[in-house]
């Protein structure tokens, strides 16, 4: 029995800031961002959108476009690092909204939970759902990856922002891609990127020394959560490279691969915080795991890094990138970082380009190198099935991305600071955040959504 992705749908924020506009406002050379990092557009959530909205839109399209019977869906597992509640998962919101759309109690028997491990959470959800399908042939599961990548204004991560969701139907005998049972993992607890609770004393806020009640907070210390992470970009790159290399080598052992592993893959899907991250990180593996290795790993550290940089600029590596990595990068250039959805959007981008260029990829193996800060990498592979081309064409990925609406820098700053109270684009045939309860004591903070025709 084979298991894998049978259908796929997505929802991407419909407004964007051109990276050239951001570069001009921040006095950055546009070529550094466009040619150096592969960034063209930075998608942003509108005033009526959050991670639930993106996930619900992608899920609704997946069910509707593939005429999936809700009664057949055994679980909806969500990968996200953009949760809106410390207790109630996004999955429970999605089940509730699907019942609004498809009927009362239509999802009452559906299991749901959120997976959180930075950008690898949806891969963990997929891994779990594949195991579930193997144990329960005939069942159907859905994985939703939904996130909003938001960074502080003027930070080094600002130009990598993005927003959207991917929804994938996981079944036996899948039409798009069937995954092998071998999964390699490398995990190490680090602080390369995280979203902590931050603390302020009441005195810092009110300038009053006494610990008086403040908006029903009796504690002397007020905890504040920000969507924006604390991160060290250079250290995160090191962690990304180390975990990926370790998992890659483990996968090679698991599969008893002799010779180059990556040469057995038609395409390579990597987590892309920015479009060219994968090609920058993979140069080391390209050198170490070539059929005739270009590095041994025993070189002097300085010489080793210099040699990796030289190899990354070689004609052989550029040709490798064009063949195996670039097709997955192209959507990222037009979207920005999707966190948990990044590696799967790369997959959709790749098969869309394969279909467009007439590439004969049926039966070919695709390698996945996923990463999540904190930190963990998983390496796995799958075989493209007969239905991949039809699915890629039906998704109309790049046609949809071409319709994105460009905003100016002033509108971007207002959205970022949450000073924009109304939507820039009127919602049509999509879910919206309708209200947040601020009066009823037992429902303070409850978020309500509705479908807009």
Q: What percent of the chain has pLDDT over 70?
A: 100
pLDDT (tens digit, 9 = 90+) per residue, 391-443?
999 999 999 999 999 999 999 999 999 999 899 999 999 999 999 999 999 99
Alpha-carbon span 377 to 242, nearest angstrom: 9
Alpha helices in 321-376 (DSSP H): 326-335, 342-357
For 323, which DSSP code?
I
Q: Is 90 exceeded by the pLDDT of residue 298?
A: no
Is the model's pLDDT at 296 over the cut of 90?
no
Both structure tokens of 402: 């071409």
- Judge whether residue 302 has pLDDT over 90: no
Q: Are strands 162-172 and 3-12 parallel, antiparallel or unpaired?
A: antiparallel
Model pLDDT for residues 24-59, shown as the tens digit of each residue: 999 999 999 999 999 999 999 999 999 999 999 999
pLDDT at 61: 98
The two structure tokens encoding residue 381: 């592979």
Res 192: pLDDT:
97
Which residues have a Cβ under 8 Å from the Cβ of 14 and sit 6 or more positions away?
Answer: 43, 46, 403, 404, 405, 425
Quote the pLDDT of residue 392: 98
10, pLDDT greater than 90: yes
SS3 of the chain: helix, strand, coil, percent, to 5: 40, 25, 35
The mean of the pLDDT values for the chain is 97
Intra-chain end-to-end CA distance of the chain, in Å: 41
User: What is the rounded distance in angstroms from the CA atom of residue 294 to the CA atom of residue 290?
Assistant: 7
pLDDT at 297: 82
| Interval 214-273: pLDDT, tens | 988 999 999 999 999 999 999 999 999 999 999 999 999 999 999 999 999 999 999 999
Q: Which domains does the chain have, with CATH numbers?
A: 3-192+232-452 (3.40.47.10), 193-225 (no CATH)
Q: Are 447 and 436 in contact (CB under 8 A)?
A: yes
- 165 DSSP β-pair partners: 11, 146
pLDDT at 426: 96
C-alpha 362/C-alpha 133 separation (Å) is 23
What pLDDT score was predicted for residue 238?
Answer: 96
């Amino acid at each position: 029995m084979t298991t894998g992705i049978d259908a796929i749908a997505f929802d991407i924020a419909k407004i964007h800031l051109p990276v050239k506009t951001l570069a001009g406002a921040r006095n950055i050379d546009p070529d550094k961002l466009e040619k150096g990092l592969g960034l063209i557009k930075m998608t942003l959530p509108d005033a009526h959108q959050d991670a639930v909205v993106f996930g619900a839109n992608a899920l609704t399209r997946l069910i509707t476009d593939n005429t999936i019977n809700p009664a057949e869906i055994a679980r909806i597992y969500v990968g996200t690092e953009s949760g809106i509640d410390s207790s109630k998962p996004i999955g429970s919101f999605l089940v509730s909204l699907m019942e609004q759309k498809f009927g009362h109690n239509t999802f009452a028997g559906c299991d749901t939970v959120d997976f959180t491990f930075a950008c690898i959470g949806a891969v963990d959800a997929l891994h779990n759902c594949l195991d579930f399908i193997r144990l329960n042939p005939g069942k159907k599961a859905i994985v939703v990856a939904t996130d909003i990548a938001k960074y502080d204004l003027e930070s080094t991560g600002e130009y990598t922002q993005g927003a959207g969701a991917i929804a994938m139907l996981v079944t036996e005998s899948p039409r798009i891609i069937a995954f092998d049972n071998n999964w390699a993992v490398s995990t190490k607890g680090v602080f390369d990127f995280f979203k902590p609770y931050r603390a302020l004393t009441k005195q810092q806020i009110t300038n009053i020394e006494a610990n008086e009640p403040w908006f029903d907070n009796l504690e002397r210390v007020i905890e504040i959560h920000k969507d924006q992470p604390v991160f060290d970009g250079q250290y995160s790159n090191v962690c990304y490279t180390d975990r990926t290399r370790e998992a890659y080598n483990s996968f090679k052992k698991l599969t008893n691969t002799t010779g180059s592993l990556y040469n057995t893959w038609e395409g390579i899907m990597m987590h892309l915080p920015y479009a060219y991250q994968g090609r920058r990180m993979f140069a080391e593996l390209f050198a170490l795991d070539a059929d005739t290795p270009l590095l041994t790993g025993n070189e002097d550290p300085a010489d080793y890094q210099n040699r990796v940089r030289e190899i990354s600029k070689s004609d052989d590596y550029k040709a490798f990138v064009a063949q195996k990595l670039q097709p997955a990068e192209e959507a990222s250039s037009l979207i920005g970082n999707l966190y948990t959805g990044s590696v799967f959007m790369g997959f959709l981008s790749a098969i869309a380009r394969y279909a467009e260029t007439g590439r004969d990829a049926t039966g070919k193996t695709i390698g996945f190198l996923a990463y999540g800060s904190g930190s963990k990498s998983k390496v796995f592979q799958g075989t493209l099935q007969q239905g991949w081309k039809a699915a890629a064409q039906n998704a109309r990925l790049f046609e949809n991305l071409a319709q994105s609406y460009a905003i100016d820098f002033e509108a971007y700053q207002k959205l970022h600071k949450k000073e924009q109270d109304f939507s820039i684009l009127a919602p049509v045939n999509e879910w919206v955040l309708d209200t947040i309860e601020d009066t009823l004591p037992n429902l303070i903070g409850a978020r309500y959504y509705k479908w807009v025709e």
